[in-house]
Amino acid sequence: MEMPPRARLGLDIKRAEQSLMAAKSSAVRKADLTVAQYAALLALAQHPGISAAALSRDCLVTPQAMTGVLKALQTRGLVERTAHPWHQRVLETRLTEAGRHVLDAADAEAVRIERRLADEFTTEEQDLLRALLARCVRAIERDH
């Protein structure tokens, strides 16, 4: 074995990610959302009219997965999709008023988790953690 298991960082990163996702899943479930649905609503609040393709990139899911997320949100009346004025094949997606209310409820719960996480670190440590995680991504993607 070239690298002992205790020297590997991947498991620690995965453990932190799974813990965060489990906590967020529980938090947004109170608003009857999945984490992917919550992420989509949050991105739509920041970028009204965004296309599904761009939304999938923002939410770090495949376009196929985003199609399912948007269908579920549209069925519940949380988003509306309309043809782009110049590009009729492109659908713009926007939050509805109901979507805004559900997002506000879910976000209040998600922010509690984000605050607990942020409170564990000083501002400088948060910046360092972001930089270290960005280095992890660059190192992993270097060979791909």
Across the chain, where does the E strand assignment appear? 79-83, 91-95
106/30 Cα distance (integer angstroms): 7
Q: Which residue has the higher pLDDT, 88 or 113?
A: 113
- The model's pTM is 0.87
State percent of the chain over pLDDT 70: 95
Per the structure block, which two tokens stand in for 117? 């996480």
User: Are 116 and 44 within 8 A, CB to CB?
Assistant: no
Mean pLDDT of 108-124: 97
The pLDDT value given to residue 68: 96
**For residue 129, what pLDDT is reported?**
97
The residue with tokens 């599904």 is 52
Q: Which residues pair with 28 in a beta bridge?
A: none
Average pLDDT score over residue span 3-11 = 88
Which region among 30-34, 80-84, 100-104 has the lowest average model confidence (pLDDT)?
A: 80-84
The Cβ of residue 106 has, within 10 Å, a number of other Cβ atoms equal to 23
The lowest-confidence range among 28-37, 64-73, 75-84, 118-127 is 75-84
Q: Is the pLDDT assigned to residue 110 strictly greater than 90?
A: yes
Q: Assess contact for 20 and 117: CB atoms under 8 A.
A: yes
Q: What is the pLDDT of residue 88?
A: 66
Instruction: Tell whether the model's pLDDT for residue 105 goes beyond 80.
Output: yes
Residue with tokens 């270097």: 142
pLDDT at 131 (0 to 100): 97
Q: pLDDT by residue (tens digit) across 40-98?
A: 999 999 999 988 899 999 999 999 999 999 999 999 999 998 876 676 677 889 999 99
Q: Output the six-digit token pair for 77.
A: 């009346």
Element holding 30 (H helix, E strand): none
